[in-house]
Structure 1
Amino acid sequence: MTEVVVTGLGAVTCHGTGVGALLAAVAAGRAATPDKLADDAAYVGAPLIHAVPGPVGEDGRRRAGAFAATAAVEALRQAGLTGGGPGRGGLGRGGLGRVGVVLGTCLGDGVAGTGPDDVVYRVAATLGELLGRAGRNVSVSNACAAGGFAAGIAADLIRAGEADVVLTGGADAYSRVGWASMDRLGALDDVRCRPFDRDRRGTVLGEGAGVLVLESAAHAAGRGATVLARLLGDGWSCDAGHLTAPEPDGTQIVRAITGALGDNRAVGAVIPHATGTPHNDRVESVAVREVLGADAARTPLYSLKPLIGHTGGASAALAAIVAVDILRSGTVPANAPVENPDPECEVYLPQDGPTPLRLPRVLVNAYAFGGNNSSTLWGCAA
């Protein structure tokens, strides 16, 4: 089977533009303090957001697309495939070959308080316009698992020989409808995102984008690209037992994880979906223990959402970027402090400092409304 590798990374988060800003926040090991919503017309009980600062899409229009384009330019530059910028298109030297875009999003790319019918598709189309050339362009909207599903679809395009290079990941931005809907569901915490904490009450939503350049190993080698990591496997499932909640026994979550791991269930670290909602964290804990067995007690989990919030369709992509950094550094970052660990969530969450990565395999989980489950497995470059 065609080997799929990572040659570029790009990110936009509440910590600023660039992968470096994200990884600096990860290294600090502290929970981020969310902002208060600046939208006076939004009446929600938990009016918090991890907002992207600065001028990127600040007028509220095409905001997610702007995030995605900014992250894509960074990823393409690292991959040695462009000298252009958002809105300029223009790919530089580097032999791009057959190119595709597969991008996940929950809320699309409209104006903050509205929802035109085609807003979801504009986010992926923004990257197609950036590339300035025809090719596969797929928008994935499997809710908060969209970024994970997007990576799997991108890898399939490469494995099937339909593309040499695919820009994949996810992007989401503030939407009044999106925030209000989550608030009405009782899914938001009015303090901060506190995964696996006994006092957790929900998640805190955030803005952001994560983009990865995936290539066939042969194409990357042919143009002399530096390989950052490999996508070893991906697994999908759908339990469809409830509109918003996973099955209590985690059967289909286990199915997605084992689909990504294949015959070898040993991993060095897990980046869980870990939204901070009471039911979801508990079910994911059960599923991880079932798959990893006795190794679960010594396999570190790194929970990203306390630092950047729940970025929807971007969450799995940003987690994959952190997974690549874990593989390259050989260490798992310290988690933001968990003040009151939930005894029903028996997972290993190191908080005192970086933990050595025992095995060069990092699992990333992403789950969503509608029972959509996705897991991806990332490995080191060599």
Structure 2
Amino acid sequence: MTGRVLITGLGALTCLGAGAPALWHGMLGGGGRPRPVPDPHAHMRTTLMYLFPGDLPAEPAAVAHVPLASGPRYAVAAAREAVADAGLSEPVLRDMPVLLGVEMGNAGLHEARRVAGPDAAATAGPRRWTPLTVTAAAVGAALGSRAPNTSVGNACAASAYALTLAADLIRAGEADVVLAGGAEGVTRVGMGAFNRLGAADPVRCRPFDRQRRGTVFGDGAAMLVLESAGHAARRGARAYAEVAGAAWSCDAHHPTAPDATATQVIRAIRAALAAAGLAPGDLGAVVPHGTGTPLNDVVESRALREVFGDHCAALPLLNLKGMIGHTAGVAGAVGCVAAALMLRSRMVPAAPRRDEPDPDCPVWLPSTPTPLDRPSVLVNSYAFGGNNASVVLTAPGEDR
């Protein structure tokens, strides 16, 4: 991969609060806890979710004629934080493409309109059709971007794909600065689907725990400003990390289940390391996909053991979904925000308590904060359809 791409701005909105600092301090504090979604129409076995604790941002209430539900509004709030953190000027924002990974988009608005029963007539909002994929457009409009605003829909790996596409735009010389990330709000469809699949944990999100029974979703947004090293140097910008390598693969195995052999997961990890110019022993930590679903955690553990061999026993994993839940299309982006913060502090936060370690998942989840001995972090993001993405972040300026 030629041409260095830096991360110069971060934004996040999760169950741990608003802002990337809130995410970092919340991770150091052990993460959040799920609570029932306050939706009287969520008629399903479990309605637990890791919910943003603040008020829904009041603006933007709409983009063009389309009213905005929580997901797009969260996206705008996180995007504004990221570009302010990067110190971008208005002329730069005008030329900045926006690439977002979004799974459910504006679905919350549609669900509010389609409530069955006597409350249906009281549902707020116009009765006209509106698109789901408005999040990138809402962010672009809010920031004044006149460059392409694009949504990527590769299910729960969407924002990892968006970030690697953003890095490719910079390396190809198509842009100097790109905003990449993802955003999701509360939707009954997402929770209901995982309930019907038997993949919703009724207790909490427990990745790599022998007692795990599925995942638990979280809402929010995560944004990263990606910038060419030359552009960042010309304006004297600081950098959190470098996007050193990335790779995709596809299982082509099953609509929802991963391939138990982990062949394509292994392929993506190895290709991302190779693109970054790193050997397996050079890696300092992993932000795993780690959803808490029984098969996914075993498959990812198998892949990590295959790629890293004996080094896996000394390779700390950040149990991020155990702290903020599975943020669906946001997962890859928030994993990269967490990785950038780890590289800045040279620390891996401790994992939440596990009820019982799973012998089929022989990975290391540190019980205390652990130094990041090697300045490189692998972020894995997987999705239905066998979509796999791996991203390697390194400390800025590291020789490889």
**Over aligned residues, Cα RMSD in angstroms?**
1.8
Distance 1:119 1:233, change over 3 A: farther
2:342, 2:348 within 8 Å by CA — same for their partners in 1?
Answer: yes
For the pair 1:23 / 2:24, whether they are aligned, the reply is yes
Q: Percent identity?
A: 48
Cα offset, 1:77, TM superposition: 0.6
1:87-118 Cα offsets, whole Å, 9 max, x none, are: xxxx3x7x457311110011112316169986
For the pair 1:36 / 2:46, whether they are aligned, the reply is no
Please name the residue that 2:391 is paired with: 376
List aligned pairs for 1:156-305, cutoff 5 A. 156-262=168-274, 264-265=279-280, 266-305=282-321
For the pair 1:76 / 2:83, whether they are aligned, the reply is yes
| 2: CA distance, partners of 1:227 / 1:259 | 24
2:257, 2:384 within 8 Å by CA — same for their partners in 1?
Answer: yes
For the pair 1:100 / 2:97, whether they are aligned, the reply is yes
Letter in structure 1 aligned against 2:82:
A
Please name the residue that 1:365 is paired with: 380
Letter in structure 2 aligned against 1:99:
M
| 2: CA distance, partners of 1:73 / 1:165 | 15
Please name the residue that 2:9 is paired with: 8
Secondary structure of the 1:180 match is helix
Secondary structure of the 2:203 match is coil
Cα offset, 1:342, TM superposition: 0.3
2:287, 2:380 within 8 Å by CA — same for their partners in 1?
Answer: yes
Worse overlay, 104-113 or 69-78: 104-113
1:120, 1:141 within 8 Å by CA — same for their partners in 2?
Answer: no
For the pair 1:355 / 2:362, whether they are aligned, the reply is no
Letter in structure 2 aligned against 1:12:
L
Cα offset, 1:61, TM superposition: 4.0
| 2: CA distance, partners of 1:108 / 1:259 | 30
2:93, 2:144 within 8 Å by CA — same for their partners in 1?
Answer: no
1:273-320 Cα offsets, whole Å, 9 max, x none, are: 000000000000000111111111111111101111110111111111
| 1: CA distance, partners of 2:305 / 2:110 | 40
| 2: CA distance, partners of 1:320 / 1:52 | 19
| 2: CA distance, partners of 1:138 / 1:72 | 14
Secondary structure of the 1:46 match is coil
Please name the residue that 2:47 is paired with: 47
2:290, 2:319 within 8 Å by CA — same for their partners in 1?
Answer: yes
1:112, 1:176 within 8 Å by CA — same for their partners in 2?
Answer: no
Letter in structure 2 aligned against 1:22:
L
Please name the residue that 2:120 is paired with: none
Secondary structure of the 2:134 match is helix
1:96-147 Cα offsets, whole Å, 9 max, x none, are: 5731111001111231616998644201111111222321222111000011
| 2: CA distance, partners of 1:260 / 1:214 | 18
1:97, 1:164 within 8 Å by CA — same for their partners in 2?
Answer: no
Letter in structure 2 aligned against 1:35:
R
1:200, 1:276 within 8 Å by CA — same for their partners in 2?
Answer: yes
Please name the residue that 1:318 is paired with: 334
2:6, 2:243 within 8 Å by CA — same for their partners in 1?
Answer: yes
Consecutive unaligned residues in structure 1, runs of 5 or more: 83-90
| 1: CA distance, partners of 2:228 / 2:130 | 31
Letter in structure 1 aligned against 2:74:
F
Cα offset, 1:62, TM superposition: 2.4
1:230-289 Cα offsets, whole Å, 9 max, x none, are: 000111011120110110010010111112110522310001000000000000000011
| 2: CA distance, partners of 1:321 / 1:289 | 25
Letter in structure 1 aligned against 2:261:
D
| 2: CA distance, partners of 1:41 / 1:333 | 37
Letter in structure 1 aligned against 2:50:
H
TM-score by length of 1: 0.93
Distance 1:61 1:44, change over 3 A: farther
Worse overlay, 44-53 or 268-277: 44-53
1:98, 1:162 within 8 Å by CA — same for their partners in 2?
Answer: no
| 1: CA distance, partners of 2:183 / 2:145 | 21
Cα offset, 1:29, TM superposition: 2.2
Distance 1:101 1:24, change over 3 A: same
Rg comparison, structure with higher value: 2
Consecutive unaligned residues in structure 2, runs of 5 or more: 62-66, 115-127
| 2: CA distance, partners of 1:127 / 1:189 | 33
| 1: CA distance, partners of 2:99 / 2:267 | 23
